[in-house]
Structure formats: C-alpha cells, structure tokens
Chain A
Amino acid sequence: MAEAIKQSVRNPAMRWVGIVLVAAALTALPFVLAQVGTAWVRITNLAILFILLSLGLNIVVGFAGLLDLGYIAFYGVGAYTYAILASPHFGLHLPFWIILPIGALVACIFGVLLGAPTLKLRGDYLAIVTLGFGEIVRIFLNNLAQPVNITNGPRGITLIDPFRVGGFNFSRTSSIAGLDFSGPIKYYYLLLVVLVLVVVVNLRLENSRVGRAWMAIREDELAAQAMGINTRNVKLLAFAMGASFGGIAGGMFSAMQGFVSPESFVLVESIMVLAMVVLGGMGNVWGVIIGALLLSFGPEILRYTVAPIQYAIFGKLLIEPEVIRMLLFGLALVLMMLYRPAGLLPSATRKRELEEHD
C-alpha cells in the first residue's frame, strides 16, 4: 500500500491528479465544516495560523538548529503592528496589503535584534536568552500604556479593522454565486493562499544554497565557517526569515480576531509552536504541517468530546475537560518522544540516521 502510494507520487500524471483532489477537498472544506458549526471554521483558521508559525519556527529550529523559545514574540509584534496601524486606537486605518508587509518587516527587524546578540550562543544558552526575549516583548506589550499609550496595556487593542478590498469586507457574509461566504470562510481562503505561498517558499529553501548553509551550521558551526559560509549573516537570515513569517501570521491573527492583548503571546504559546515542530518532525515541511494540525485540532476535538463521553459512560462529569485536555496532551507528547523521537514525519536526514542505527 505504502509502496503503491510512493509509486503513484513519482508518476507525474498521478501527482497532478492528487494535487487537484487535495485542492478540491481544501476548497470544499469550510462549507463542510460550516455544517458542523462556524466555530470549526474558526478553529481551522487558527490551525492554519499555527501552521504558518510552525513553518517559520522550523526555519530557525529545524533548518538552522537554533533553539528559539521566544518565537511567539514575533507573532505578537506582527499582531500589534497590524492593530496599531488599523484601529481607532491611533485613528489609523491603513489597508491590510500595506500593513502586512510592514508587520513582516517589523518582526524581521526584531528577529535580527534578537539574533545579533545571540550569535555566539548555542543550545541551552540560546534557549534561555530567546525565552527571555519572548518575555521582554510580552511585558513591553503589557506595560507600554504609559507615559505614551502605545499598546493600551493589558486591556489590549480592540475594534481592529478586518481585511478589506474595496467594498469586499472579510468580516461580513456575502453571497457569491448562490453560496454564502461567511467571514471565517473568506479568511479561510485567504489563509489558504498565504499558506500555499509559505509552503512553497519553505520547500524551496530546504534545497537551496542557503538551506544547505543552515544545515551545515546546525551540524558543525566551526566546520561550516571553514567551508566559507558567513555564519553570522546566514544565522541572522534564519532569524529574520523565521520572524517575518511569524509577523505575517500575527497580522492576520489581528485582523481575524479584531482584538489583541498580551495574553495571546505568552510563553506557553511559544512552547506549543515548538512542540508542533518537534512532534511533526523537525526540518521536514510536511511533518511540521501535520504536527501543527494535530496539536491545533486535537485539543479542540477533546474539548467537545471529553464531557459527552464521560456523561455517557459514568453518567456524570468526573474530570473537567480543561484538565483532561492538558493531561492527554502531555501523555501524547511523552509517547511520541518514546516511540517516534524524530517526529511523525522525520526529515530525510533524521530518517536516514535512524534507519542506519537499527
């Protein structure tokens, strides 16, 4: 079976059929989900945002081997950049196609700002510094309400503009060709387009010259230097690119939610994104996508199923859904690390390594 799939993937005609089928399924998906409940379309949109974040972090952690525990800060920077430039808070209402690149750029600058002082750090030390950086950004977001009110502190920024193209508003329902496109469904398609672009960029990067340089640095930094790789610039590029992806995801998050507050950018979120990357398979773009999907949908599915199952079996609620969710999540991670240490879909390099050690 697996062999048959592999064969058909190699056959270009079959490959195109596969791509068309997947595209059709992804196009129909939001309407199917909307039948279950609009909440599920929103959950899917958040899952896509997390895929974007995981792919960004994968550049830093998976390709270049730089353990970053403060990645969510770039998401926060992107989200707040959007919020500040498109809300009544400062009375600015720039169009999204201007703000998103600005958000990516600002996040990119923050990426370089974080990267520059940590160039000589590795492993544990780098993890600690990036963790600190993530917290610094969150604390700034929390406190930059005085003396000049920039972030509105813990109350966050509200009434953020949705995406708008001319009269086409992404937050309202509109009817096109007899179909009702609700706000979340429109955002779904937009996110899907961005996701496809980001995936293509990631796949290209993996086999590029700079991708090779990142992997060389991950394996042995001194040797990479001796091969003529400008390790400083190449590492900064990893931080900058990873951060830009985070910034774009942040901007979209802001527009979709219409509200941002520092609470969305806490340490646990950084760890969650890192867990997605590790669970799926560090360095493998498809693995990372699967990891992000599982960790985004898993807890949501549990949220809706744990209570009814308990009522059905015991007739009463024994364990709160919130509690059991984290319990099962932790258990899943421990099992993964025991049985699939290289992730669900390990990268080619990790897979070879494991096969040869058997």
Chain B
Amino acid sequence: MSLLRVESLKISYGGINAVKGIDLEVAQGEMVALIGANGAGKTTTLKAICGVMKPAAGKVHYQGRDITALPSHVLVTMGMALVPEGRGIFGRLTVEENLDIGAYTRRDKAATRAQLAHVYEMFPRLKERRNQTAGTMSGGEQQMLAIGRALMSAPRLLLLDEPSMGLAPLMVQRIFDTIRRVAAEGVTVLLVEQNAKLALESSARGYVMESGKITLSDTAPALLDNPQVRQAYLGE
C-alpha cells in the first residue's frame, strides 16, 4: 500500500508546462529518489505534492486520500513535511525559535519537548547553537536545522528538496547519514537530488525526470547500473 501516489500530474507556471503528466509512488517506510537535471521539474513536483502549488491536472493521493485540493497547512497536520530548496530557514530567528515553528501545528507540549530533545540528539551541533541566529550559521548547519525543523512536526512523509545543494563533500556525507537514519527510524522519504549517485545509493528506488517527464523508473541498484543514467547523471 503506497503512502503517496501521484497520478498524471501536470503543473504549469504562467503558460509554461513545467511538469507534463507524471506518475510516481512511494510506499510506506520507503526511501525514493527523484533525480534529474536543473529545470527538469523536480522542485515543482514537490511543491505540488505538499500543497504549496496547485497542479493544472492530475491527482495526488496520500494515505489513501485525494489531497490534490488540500492546502499545505492541512497536509502538515496529516504528517507531511518539506525541507525546502535552499533550506528556507528563518534567518533572523534563533535555532530554537526555528525549531519551535517547526512544531507549529502540534498542540501537545510534552510531545514537542520530547521531539526537540530527539532532534538535538540527532544534531548535537544545533543544541550547541540553540540561541544563535540561524542565518549566521554555516550552510551545512543551516541544512541540519532545516531537516531538524521539518522533523519537529513528527512527519510520516519527509520531502527533501536538494539537501546537498551548495555543501562541502564532507558535509554532504553527514547530511545523507542523517537522512538515512531518519529513514531507518521509519519515516518515509522522497528525496529530490541533483547528486544522483549519492541519492540512488541511499534509496531503495528511483525516478529519473527530464524536462517535465519521468523517463526512467527502477530500483536504485538497477538505475545505478543503467548505461543511460551512468552517462547522463553519473559522469561516466
């Protein structure tokens, strides 16, 4: 039973068709990568899934429900969380204030405190810097914060948009270690990445997106072996 199912989704930006009818599926507990070049429509797809953008046509099903018309603030209460492209942290607020806002939809104070402790345990660096202004941290720390903030809502489905963007290789490794840990804890993950190798190595399955269409879909090891993928995305 799939947690998320996207059916012939079409999205257009002022006349330009950014996504031209795609299907994808993410099973409960699975980690799936959506890879592709810049401008392929990956981010747009995520935005439509999490309700920030309205699709032109097609359907999004989540937990067996049609959520195409639902706004993002409802979807967050249903357990969907987005780590936006470029991290989107609240730069002039402190680390802890950022995390507090991550739990905006949760009314249960005790559970929120427990979740905060969990996030701090996962990212000790954030705990050290809890009173620092988020915008003054390094890119890697900001990415940790963006992920930690998304986890504050205790999501079932985590949507990650380019978590490796602009980070040093060592930091990218650490971020991916964390993402794998989150997945291992039972959170379903849909990962959008340009770093195809790393994304596929961490995921069970993958989709390849090109100019608004899904051109390939397979298990991650099969994609890593696919000559087309190797040539176009793995630089071989």
Spell out A's residues near B (CB within 8 Å). 209, 212-213, 215-216, 219-220, 222-231, 349-350, 352-353, 356-357
Interface of chain A: mostly helix, strand, loop or mixed: helix
Judge if B104 is at the interface, Cβ distance under 8 Å. yes
Listed in ascending order, the chain B residues whose CB lies under 8 Å from chain A are: 50, 52, 71-73, 75-77, 81-82, 84, 88-94, 97, 100-102, 104-105, 132-133, 135-136, 149-150, 153
The contact of B71 among A216, A230, A349, A353, by CB within 8 Å, is A230
A90→B151 CA distance, assembly (Å)? 60
Q: Which of B71, B91, B101 contacts A224 (CB 8 A)?
A: B101
Chain A residues closer than 8 Å to B50, beta-carbon distance: 226
Contact of B94 among A216, A225, A231, A352 (CB under 8 A): A352
Chain B residues lying within 8 Å of A220, measured Cβ to Cβ, are 88-91
Determine if A230 and B84 form an interchain contact, defined as CB atoms under 8 angstroms apart.
no
What is the count of residue pairs linking A and B with beta-carbon distances less than 8 angstroms?
82
CB contact under 8 A between A209 and B104, given known A219-B91, A349-B92, A356-B133: yes
A223 to B102, CA, bound (A): 10
| A213 cross-chain contacts in B, Cβ below 8 A | 101, 104
- Neighbouring A residues of B90 by C-beta, 8 Å: 215-216, 219-220, 223-224
B133 touches A353 (CB 8 A): yes
Chain A residues within 8 Å of B133, by CB: 349, 352-353, 356
A-side contacts of B132, CB under 8 Å: 352, 356
- Asked whether B97 lies within 8 Å of A226 as measured between CB atoms, the reply is no
Q: How far is the CA of A50 from the CA of B158 in the complex (A)?
A: 47
Q: Are B84 and A222 in contact (CB under 8 A)?
A: yes
Q: Give chain B residues whose Cβ lies under 8 Å from the Cβ of A209.
A: 104
B82 touches A226 (CB 8 A): yes
Q: Assess whether B101 is in contact with A226, with CB atoms less than 8 Å apart.
A: no
Min CB–CB distance A29 → chain B (angstroms): 36
Q: Given contacts A212-B101, A215-B93, A223-B88, are A229 and B136 in contact (CB under 8 A)?
A: no
If A216-B101, A353-B133 touch, whether A226 touches B88 (CB-CB below 8 Å) is yes
A–B Cβ pairs within 8 angstroms, 15 of them: A209-B104, A212-B97, A212-B101, A215-B92, A216-B90, A216-B101, A219-B90, A219-B91, A220-B89, A226-B84, A227-B101, A227-B104, A349-B92, A350-B92, A356-B133
Let me know if B73 and A219 touch, CB within 8 A: no
Q: What residues on B are CB-neighbors of A226 within 8 Å?
A: 50, 52, 72, 76, 81-82, 84, 88, 150
Whole-angstrom distance from the CB of A353 to the nearest CB of chain B?
Answer: 5
Q: How close is B55's CB to chain A, nearest CB, in angstroms? A: 16
Task: Chain B residues near A228: list those with CB within 8 A.
Answer: 72-73, 75-77, 104-105, 153
CB distance from B45 to the nearest CB of A (A): 15
8 additional contacts (CB under 8 A) given A223-B89, A229-B101? A212-B104, A215-B92, A219-B91, A219-B93, A223-B84, A226-B81, A350-B92, A357-B136
Q: Is the CB of A353 within 8 A of B92?
A: yes
CA distance A224 to B93 in the complex (A): 13
User: What separation, in Å, do the CA atoms of A209 and B71 have in the docked complex?
Assistant: 20
Task: Using CB atoms, name the residue of chain A closest to B102.
Answer: A227
User: Which residues of the other chain, A, contact B94 by a CB distance below 8 angstroms?
Assistant: 352
